[in-house]
Structure 1
Amino acid sequence: MKHSLRMLAAGLTLGLACSTPALAQNSAVNNAILSQKAGQLDKALASINEAIVNEKTKDKAKTWFTRGDIYYSLLDPSTKTLFAKYTANMQPGEALQKAAESYQKALALDGPAGEFGKQVPDRLKNLYGLAFNDGVSYYNAKDYDKAIGSYQLASTLMPTDTTAVLYTAYAQEAKQDLPGAKATYARLLGLDAYKTKPAPVNVYNRLLYIDEQQNDA
């Protein structure tokens, strides 16, 4: 009887020892979620950025989806001001870029029908709106390079959308990058949206204008 109890105890100890590393690593993701909900974004970021490089958690959709949500909370209009201190040392657009890459990674790992993958399209639509609005703000401030970057990011988030591509071309024209604008207008005409309906007449007018400017140069 004592021998059996010793064997059982040894088995339990071995089982706990084997499961502890996995639990410890999964706890990094769980800690990130809890810290985010508590408004402690610095701790949430530290935990999730630990999880994305750990062998046990780096290939899990939940890890990347959680990272996307944490970075999105830095951008969400309802929480952006509250969490502004956490983006003070980030480059412009950095949080949005990291949120986007995280959601896209979650989708790649989970597939479109997975628990997390099926939530990604709505998240990307939200990010698209934020990136596009950033582009408009930069354009109005005549910071055309940043406007172009924001519009291009928006376009990658919704590849079938035509508006962000069109506004990219407008910003390139405003910057006097006529070759870039011409290439972007041509790309716009090649999108699936214009295989079944005519493209806006203005696009052809802009291409004619660019050709005239380049011929006169």
Structure 2
Amino acid sequence: MKKTILTLLAVISITAISAQKNKVQSAYNYNNAFERNGKCSEIQNGLEAINLATQDASTKDASKTWIYRGNLYYNLLLPTTDKNCKALYKDALDEATKSYLKGMVLNFEDDALKKLDLEKEADLMQFFGALQNKSKMEDQQLFGTAFSRLPGLGGEYANKGISLFQTKDFKGAQESFQKALMLIQFSGKTDTLILYNLALASEYAEDFETSKQLYNALIQLNYNIDGNGASIYQSLARIHKNGGDKEKSFETIKKGRKAYPQNQNLIFEEIDYYLQSGKDQDALVSLNDAISIEQNNAFLYYVRGTVYEKLKNQENAIADYKKSIELDPKQHDAAFNLGAFYFNKGVDKINVANDLPLNQSKKYEEMKADAKKDFMSAIPYIEIANKAKPEDTDTATMLIKLYTQVGEDAKAKELKTKYE
């Protein structure tokens, strides 16, 4: 009787194992049926069967179980699959990826490789190395099915990353781009566009250490898709600057200028650094470069005018202010600075005249007349500035003073009333 019971138990065990193996085969058949007829019920039945197989000791460690499971979820991602069916399995992308990778790991002949946990970085690197070294597989065809679909899954994650980035879920976007990059890299290729998107998402997610590493990698790869090569230097410099390392930031800008000498954004960053550091001569060189590229940029002439003025080169400062106004009559700052130059020049003459001794009355009158000419020269430019920015009270105040100095009392009174 005891032997009979043991025999029955053995038969039950064999029957159970056979049943689970049938679940795997059933899932395979359901998947094939779905590929023929597109019925969501085939996917549902297939996943029900395969999920049972993933829980059973006799089939849960079989490569075939997980790759068949991956096939079912992969088909849910296809554009031809009914959207209502897709909606039932919103985690299809993650499940397909997890299933294929687990199935590939279990397909290695090497028992040590079968134990890899791809959630661990060291194991992930070992897995990547095994792929590159073409380690032996138990079923090469089955492995090839999963392997061939990794780039497609990577593309799905890349699209998901873009969507998440657009909705400002930068952490989610970072994770999606990271998965996309990993899956595509398994095939031995690096998608630099995804690498760039990952760097950008990492920066926006405030993972600055990761973004710095990625931007440096892109620089090493000479990335310049869609003309974004120069912006990498800008982004990297910004991270250094925000982190308090201004010297490293400027060093990055200089490298960017060398790689992209005609890029205006990098030139502007360089100019800004020089101006904030009081390096006016260096700023002047960079401004000359910028103007040689954009000869009709009114703002650049204004900025160069301010630098010339700081360097006491009044003639060039006046020429640049005038050029700026010529290109853009609404360029308030250039007009104000030019008007202020003539105004201050006139005020200086009045002050000198007031300090003259009484016996130099002729000289006094001459200097007052010269000062009036300067005030008259200032008025058109301050009027332009006032028109460009009527809300600016400093401009209006200067214009009132000028009108008063030249005897235009009615205009001064009218303008004063306007701002009271």
TM-score past 0.5 threshold: yes
Matches within 5 A, 1:26-37: 26-36=21-31, 37=33
C-alpha spacing 1:109/1:215, structure 2 compared with 1 (3 Å): same
Q: TM-score, normalised by structure 1?
A: 0.75
Tell me the C-alpha RMSD between the 2 structures: 2.9
5+ long unaligned stretches in structure 1 = 1-12
Residue 150 (structure 1) aligns with: 176
Q: Which amino acid aligns with 2:101?
A: Q
Matches within 5 A, 1:65-76: 65-76=67-78
Partner of residue 83 from structure 1, selected from 85, 100, 112: 85
Q: In the alignment, is the contact (CA less than 8 A) between 2:158 and 2:177 conserved in 1?
A: yes
Q: In the alignment, is the contact (CA less than 8 A) between 1:73 and 1:80 conserved in 2?
A: no
Q: Work out the CA distance in 1 between the residues paired with 2:29 and 2:101.
A: 23
Partner of residue 140 from structure 1, selected from 166, 172, 176: 166
1:166 maps onto 2:200 in alignment: no
Q: TM-score, normalised by structure 2?
A: 0.41
**Partner SS, residue 57 of structure 1:** coil
Q: CA deviation at 1:153?
A: 1.4
Residue 10 (structure 1) aligns with: none
Residue 239 (structure 2) aligns with: 210
Q: Work out the CA distance in 2 between the residues paired with 1:170 and 1:30.
A: 44
Q: Work out the CA distance in 2 between the residues paired with 1:216 and 1:208.
A: 9
Q: In the alignment, is the contact (CA less than 8 A) between 2:196 and 2:218 conserved in 1?
A: no
Give 4+ residue runs of structure 1 displaced > 6 Å after superposition: 13-16
Q: Work out the CA distance in 1 between the residues paired with 2:93 and 2:75.
A: 10
Residue 355 (structure 2) aligns with: none
Residue 7 (structure 1) aligns with: none
Q: Work out the CA distance in 2 between the residues paired with 1:131 and 1:199.
A: 21
C-alpha spacing 1:153/1:147, structure 2 compared with 1 (3 Å): same
The percentage of counterpart residues that share the same residue type is 29
C-alpha spacing 1:27/1:204, structure 2 compared with 1 (3 Å): same
**Partner SS, residue 44 of structure 1:** helix
Q: In the alignment, is the contact (CA less than 8 A) between 2:20 and 2:58 conserved in 1?
A: yes
Matches within 5 A, 1:171-182: 171-182=201-212
Residue 107 (structure 1) aligns with: 104
Give the structure with higher Rg (CA). 2
Q: Work out the CA distance in 2 between the residues paired with 1:199 and 1:31.
A: 48
- Identify the structure with the greater helix proportion: 2
5+ long unaligned stretches in structure 2 = 1-7, 35-39, 109-133, 247-420
Q: Work out the CA distance in 2 between the residues paired with 1:56 and 1:175.
A: 44
**Partner SS, residue 27 of structure 1:** helix
1:20 maps onto 2:46 in alignment: no
Q: How many residues are treated as equivalent by the alignment?
A: 194
